[in-house]
């Protein structure tokens, strides 16, 4: 968890209503929401309408810090929806490879950040178009719905309504504390970020019809921390009925993401308060947000979703094995080089052997027979190949468990199309590199795109649109993508080749199945 957070980090109340409203113009469409009217902007090339910076909850400041999101205040007049709202509190930094500026948060950060953005093709009210709600990643410490790579214009032009959201991050989104638990009618604290996501989905249910969307045809889609969030929402009783399909890029597998229980998370919260010389939650709420953010850089106190007994009654994968939660179709998959996030730095054969002993224990000798050491190049290749096999098998086993108690199909994929990058070919299909393809946003990045890249983008975004519309990604002219069949261990390769592929050869597949059912499997990273 510490390594994931470190990599992810390396990845005020509203002003007066008069300052936040505008009079509609002929070329600015206006939509009425439950909180008031909002004007948007029309993209001249696609005619897609965008409505940005829409509050789905009250600013979580002052006494609302570390409380479930409260309803947004109503406004009079027409709110200007031409600009994004502030991103949630986080460290804003420059490029750090492989993540360039297109993947990173820019602009203002603030506690007043519970905003979402809507892109919709030309459509009448209640046109009942499919809706895709995107939950951004960033290790639960950074991220925003306004990031450039998430612009919904081109995806919306295919005939769907696209929504991107913000949610509280770091200590603002996940602080648990005995006092917070005591003041909660649900005897729970932490998981405020998940509650923000649920509030955004409730807003969509109440308002999306005015933007041409179907409130009964909502797909949640997240990547990395957003994918872990999707896994949580799939099983949370508080999210039941708010979406009808789910997509998780880089995040769902039988290994799962480590979840603290409430008492352990409360102990971390007490340490966090002590570190800020606060003897009560009242004193902690009075500390400026920027000071709390700076203090959160102590990685001995990590803030992630927890088993709080209310939003998350049990660990997500334990719940996934039962019949509860949301029984909906699911897509999940991984990038070919996702495993680089958790692969150690190997400088010698001794480093490689130590890693194998720590990760695979009694199964270490068998691992090295399948993925041998030797030269530096061979060790590096073994780390990459083993991570890819592990991720594919992990996602398949997650789907197998889910299908035992759920009727909704599961589709898995393995994305191996690398963003072209002549200066840095070593990154390959890096973590989050699929997003410009799915969003149809290749032109957002200045890269030497080739025809195959545009073909991949058109195909993957078509799969996404079809899935949002029917719960099945297949459609005319697309390579057939079969749902997971527990008797057939394969996945869908996405890249220059769009076709089924085996999870691993038989000996390696058998190894990973036994690994995940062994005590050593509890050491496995989430992807």
Tabulate helix, strand, coil % of the chain (nearest 5): 40, 15, 45
Does 461 participate in catalysis according to the annotation?
Answer: no
Distance between CA 320 and CA 312 in Å, rounded?
A: 12
Tokens linked to 67:
């409380």
Q: 3-state SS of 121-162?
A: CCCCCCCCEEEEEEECCCCCCCCCCCCHHHCCHHHHCCCCEE
87, 144, 189, 224: the catalytic one is 224
Distance between CA 58 and CA 68 in Å, rounded?
A: 10
Give DSSP secondary structure letters for 177-228: -HHHHHH-TTS--S-HHHHHHHHHHHHHHHHGGGGTEEEEEEEEEEETHHHH
The answer to whether the beta carbons of residues 390 and 339 sit under 8 Å apart is: yes
Which of 270, 254, 319 lies closest to 515 in space, CA to CA?
254
Tokens linked to 309:
């007994």
Q: How far is CA 132 from CA 162, 163, 177, 435, in A?
A: 5, 6, 34, 14
DSSP annotation of 44: T
Distance between CA 526 and CA 390 in Å, rounded?
A: 10
Sheet of 78-80: strands edge to edge? 30-33, 36-39, 78-80
Distance between CA 209 and CA 120 in Å, rounded?
A: 11
Which of 511, 516, 154, 158 lies closest to 365 in space, CA to CA?
511
| Active site residues per annotation | 224
């Amino acid at each position: 968890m510490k390594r994931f957070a470190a990599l992810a980090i390396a990845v005020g109340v509203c002003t007066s209503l008069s300052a936040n409203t505008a009079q509609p113009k002929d070329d600015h469409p206006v939509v009425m929401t439950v909180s008031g009217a909002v004007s948007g902007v029309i993209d001249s090339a696609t005619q897609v309408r965008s409505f940005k910076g829409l509050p789905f909850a009250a600013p979580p400041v002052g006494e609302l810090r570390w409380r479930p999101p409260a309803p947004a205040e109503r406004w009079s007049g027409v709110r200007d929806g031409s600009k994004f709202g502030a991103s949630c509190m986080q460290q804003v930094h420059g490029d750090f490879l492989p993540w360039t500026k297109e993947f990173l948060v820019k602009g203002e950060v603030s506690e007043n950040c519970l905003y979402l953005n809507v892109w919709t093709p030309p459509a009448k009210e209640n046109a009942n178009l499919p809706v895709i709600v995107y939950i951004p990643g960033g290790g639960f410490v950074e991220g925003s719905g306004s990031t450039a790579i998430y612009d919904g214009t081109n995806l919306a032009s295919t005939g769907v309504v696209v929504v991107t959201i913000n949610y509280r991050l770091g200590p603002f989104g996940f602080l648990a504390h005995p006092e917070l638990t005591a003041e909660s009618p649900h005897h729970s604290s932490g998981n405020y970020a998940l509650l923000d996501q649920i509030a955004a989905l409730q807003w969509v249910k109440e308002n999306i019809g005015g933007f041409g969307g179907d409130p009964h045809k909502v797909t949640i889609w997240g990547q990395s921390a957003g994918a872990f969030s999707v896994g949580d929402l799939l099983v949370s009783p508080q999210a039941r009925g708010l979406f009808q399909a789910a997509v998780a890029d880089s995040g769902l597998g039988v290994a799962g993401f480590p979840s603290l229980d409430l008492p352990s998370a409360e102990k971390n919260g007490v340490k966090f308060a002590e570190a800020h010389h606060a003897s009560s939650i009242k004193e902690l709420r009075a500390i400026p947000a920027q000071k709390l953010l700076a203090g959160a850089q102590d990685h001995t106190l990590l803030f992630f979703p927890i088993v709080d007994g209310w939003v998350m009654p049990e660990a997500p994968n334990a719940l996934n094995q039962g019949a509860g939660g949301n029984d909906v179709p699911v897509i999940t998959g991984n990038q070919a080089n996702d495993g680089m996030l958790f692969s150690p730095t190997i400088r010698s054969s001794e480093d490689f052997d130590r890693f194998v002993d720590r990760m695979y224990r009694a199964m270490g000798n068998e691992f090295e027979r399948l993925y041998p050491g030797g030269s530096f190049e061979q060790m590096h290749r073994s780390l990459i190949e083993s991570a890819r096999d592990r991720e594919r098998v992990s996602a398949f086993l997650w789907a197998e468990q889910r299908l035992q108690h759920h009727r909704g199909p599961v589709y898995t994929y393995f994305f191996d199309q690398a963003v072209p990058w002549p200066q840095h070919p070593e990154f390959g299909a890096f973590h989050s590199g699929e997003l410009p393809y799915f969003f149809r946003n290749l032109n957002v990045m200045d890269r030497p795109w080739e025809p195959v890249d545009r073909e991949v983008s058109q195909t993957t975004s078509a799969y996404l649109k079809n899935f949002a519309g029917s719960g099945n990604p297949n459609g005319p002219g697309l390579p057939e993508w079969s749902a997971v069949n527990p008797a057939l261990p394969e996945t869908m390769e996405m890249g220059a080749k769009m076709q089924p592929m085996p999870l691993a050869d038989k000996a390696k597949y058998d190894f990973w199945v036994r690994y995940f059912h062994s005590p050593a499997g509890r050491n496995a990273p989430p992807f």
